[in-house]
Amino acid sequence: MPLQICRTSAPKPHIPDAELGFGHVFTDHMLLMDYTPETGWHQARIEPYGPFSLEPATIVLHYGQSIFDGLKAFRTPSDDVVLFRPQRHLKRLNTSAARLCIPPLDETLTLGALQELVRLDTDWVPRTPSCSLYIRPTLIATDPTLGVHPSRTYRFFVIMSPVGAYYPEGFKPVKILVEDRYVRAVSGGLGAAKTPANYAASLLAAEEARAQGFTQVLWLDGIAHRYIEEVGSMNIFFVIDDELVTPPLDGSILDGVTRDSVITLAHSWGIRVAERRIGIDDILAAHGAGKLTEVFGTGTAAVISPVCELFYKGHAIIINDRKVGPWTQRIYDALTAIQWGISPDPFGWIVSVKQS
């Protein structure tokens, strides 16, 4: 499929890296592609970033038939621009698509178009180390109808946002409220897909936690309200008795790319890793026995987010004296060094946007 490119005639001024937050500023261009059952995915094009119109009856606005993903591009010290594990992100986009009855994208073709988009807006990839370009591929149902059924037509678009350093003053361990009332997802539901409904489901709990002084919530399973699932919109890891423990991918948890990268790194260092169900009571017991030494979340935005406190039913579980633990620091340093092109990439995770 040919990729049509229409360059902007009015490039936007850039914001200094020090003033970048997360997701407020967008680059000059976006990638678009449309789907009809008759032609499949067609009309791949890059256009100036800007609004597009939808009829008020459009399915996505009523029933949320939509999926997205989130990945990053980094500028290396040698001024190359690289994507972190884009194939795995596109594969996950297609896994989400299957759950939402959305036709799959051609992953190879989409990666090529994405590289072209990043090449075109390459000046938007921040030069300050630890800043990056966040890339948001999104796919929405576009039939204008109120019937509850999968859409016939779809639009895929990719927008990009330069984002600031997540930890400009170093790691900030966070306080987390263990959520025992609201649930994010249940097995058999949408939890394993990256779809807006999961984020809508999380908002009220997160707001109530924030009002009580917590950064995020720790989600428990939707049936027993006992087994640990995720932390905010990140996967979660515990260091218990010198073992790295994380909940298994049992259908209600997102298969995080950072989660997989952490597991791969840990294996390569000979660290024991267990993907197993773990109850909040197990965490309390491990803490009581002095065996719970570190807790951290993993995700594309922060990479690693150390947890210093879990608050459950009126009881504060303080982790590692509220300090960042050595495993957390080692994993963060190793992963970001690969992403930022500072150390070699033995796993083949980095994909340059340079034309081969």
Ligand X SMILES: Cc1ncc(COP(=O)(O)O)c(C=O)c1O
d(CA 259, CA 191): 16
Question: Which residues lie below 8 Å from residue 243, measured CB to CB, with a gap of 6+?
Answer: 271, 272, 273, 274
243-246 and 272-275 beta bridge pairing: parallel
Query: Which is closer to ligand X, CB of 120 or CB of 217?
Result: 217
Q: Which residues in the 98-127 window bind ligand X by CB under 6 A?
A: none
Among 217, 254, 310, 335, binds ligand X (CB under 6 A): 254
Bridge pairing between strands 154-163 and 132-141: antiparallel
Give the position of tokens 């997701």: 23
CB of 233 to ligand X, least distance (A): 4
Residues 293-322 that bind ligand X (CB under 6 A): 298-300
Least separation in angstroms between residue 256's CB and ligand X is: 3
Contacts to ligand X from residues 205-234, by CB under 6 A: 230, 233-234
CB of 230 to ligand X, least distance (A): 5
The amino acid at residue 261 is S
Q: How far is the CB of 298 from ligand X (least distance, A)?
A: 6
Length reported for the chain: 356
Q: Output 72 or 287, the one with its CB closest to ligand X.
A: 72
97 is a contact residue toward ligand X (CB under 6 A): no
Kindly tell me which residue out of 247, 256, 306, 325 binds ligand X, with binding defined by CB under 6 A.
256
Helix (H) / strand (E) containing 197: helix 196-211
Would you say 216 or 235 has its CB closer to ligand X? Answer: 235
Interaction with ligand X in 257-286: which residues (CB under 6 A)?
257-259
**Distant-in-sequence, close-in-space partners of 350: CB < 8 Å, separation ≥ 6:** 82, 83, 84, 338, 339, 341
- For residue 170, report the phi and psi dihedrals to the nearest 5 degrees: 95, 170
String of contacts with ligand X for each residue 24-63, x by CB under 6 A: ----------------------------------------
Nearer to ligand X, 132 or 142 (CB): 132
Q: How far apart are the C-alpha atoms of 101 and 99, rounded to whole Å?
A: 6
Give me the least distance between CB of 50 and ligand X, in Å please.
26
- Sign of the Cα pseudo-torsion (6, 12, 18, 23, in order): negative
**Cα angle: 42, vertex 350, 230; to 5 degrees:** 85
Q: How far is the CB of 229 from ligand X (least distance, A)?
A: 9
Tokens of 337: 């060094």
Among 58, 110, 195, 235, binds ligand X (CB under 6 A): 235
**Residue 201 exposed, middle or buried by CB count within 10 Å (0-12, 13-18, 19+):** middle
Stretch that binds ligand X, among 40-48, 117-125, 204-212, 292-300 (CB under 6 A): 292-300
Q: Name which of 27 and 258 has its Cβ closer to ligand X.
A: 258
Q: Looking at beta carbons only, is 92 or 287 nearer to ligand X?
A: 92
CA distance 41 to 247: 36
**Nearer to ligand X among residue 235 and residue 320 (C-beta):** 235
List C-alpha distances in Å: 59 to 50, 191, 198, 222: 21, 21, 18, 28
Instruction: Considering the complex, state which of residue 71 and residue 105 has its C-beta at the smaller distance from ligand X.
Output: 71
Site string for ligand X, 57-86 (x = CB under 6 A): -------------x----------------
Q: Which is nearer to ligand X, 137 or 256 (CB)?
A: 256
Q: Which residues bind ligand X (CB under 6 A)?
A: 70, 230, 233-235, 254, 256-259, 298-300
